[in-house]
Structure 1
């Protein structure tokens, strides 16, 4: 008896305002090559996850008890528009999700829930006066690499001639 092939497992890409487009482009390339969906996940660190759906969706609450709203569960419209611009000609099926909590933990939980094939993240921009040790202490990629059983692909933030970053929320 010939075993049935396993269904394609999605590729997750962590997205954030100000991120270079090449991170999403590279993640889309992986998803296209694997013949699977791309899940663009933004993690709102000002919210706590309350429950998680089978599709990766998250119900969350504000860390600040005085802010009782569901705004954190709505994907930022400007970021979604930029993703649409980046992915429009990619040929890949994609969707967005808003997660909550600490970034590497949220991406890891999502990867487990949807059985992702990999997690793609970008590196941080180097800050003036920031040391290499500080960079690695706060790196989402480093935290994921220590906690994950699946591949974590890290896309450098800058390369010579790289495009402008995704728009920041405060812009």
Structure 2
């Protein structure tokens, strides 16, 4: 039997980094609540990340420069993070006893969150499922699920928070 060191050296994806939360305007508040709870339980800061799919990272890094996919469609007054999202998160996290921040990301959300998780050495990534609407179903069929992409292509834990789960009344999984 070998001696077990008192403390193991930190490993990539260990629980030393912040909790990374993928956010978007109109997101169900339960996702933010669960992420804040996880950050508090782990004693880690919460980094809320908004990925804008209309821009791409120029140098491939998480926080590096970005450019619009359609330069003709750029609105001079547009912000990197929508005001409504900032206001919503500020109100929702006002009572939470955690350190938190909001960062803009560029590109497809799953890839952008994965890049940011790696750059931050995040402890885990938190995302929510989509609502059950026709638009959400079409979007998932065409671009896939962010949660699915992350869970299959990530070297750190991914917490998927169900939003309005649909469990059939005759579900007999007991």
Q: Structure 1 residue 157 and structure 2 residue 163: aligned?
A: yes
Superposed counterparts of 1:1-171, under 5 Å:
3=7, 8-51=16-59, 57-67=63-73, 74-128=80-134, 138-158=144-164
Contact 1:60/1:72, CA 8 A, preserved across alignment: no
Which structure has the larger Rg over C-alpha atoms? 2
State the alpha-carbon separation in 2 of the partners of residues 64 and 129 from structure 1. Answer: 23
Other-structure match for 2:169:
none
TM-score (norm 1): 0.78
8 Å Cα contact 1:8/1:35 also seen in 2:
no
- Provide the aligned C-alpha RMSD in A: 3.0
Contact conserved, 1:119 with 1:153, CA < 8 A, in 2?
Answer: yes
Offset, 1:137: 6.3
How far does the alpha carbon of each residue in 1:113-165 deviate from its partner, in whole angstroms, 9 at most, with x for none?
11001000000112249879x569611000001100100100011269xxxxx
Compare 43-52 and 102-111 and name the one that shifted more.
43-52
In the superposition, relative to structure 1, how do residues 136 and 64 fare at CA in structure 2: closer, same or farther (>3 Å)?
Answer: closer
Query: Residue by residue, what CA displacement relative to the aligned partner does 1:53-87 show, whole Å, maximum 9, x if unpaired?
Result: 7xx53421100132567866632222111101111
Would the aligned equivalents of 2:23 and 2:48 in 1 still touch at CA under 8 Å? yes
Aligned residue number for residue 165 of structure 1: none
Structure 1 unaligned residues grouped into runs of 5+: 161-171
* Contact 2:25–2:82, Cα closer than 8 Å, also in 1: no
**Which consecutive unaligned segments of at least 5 residues does structure 2 have?**
167-174
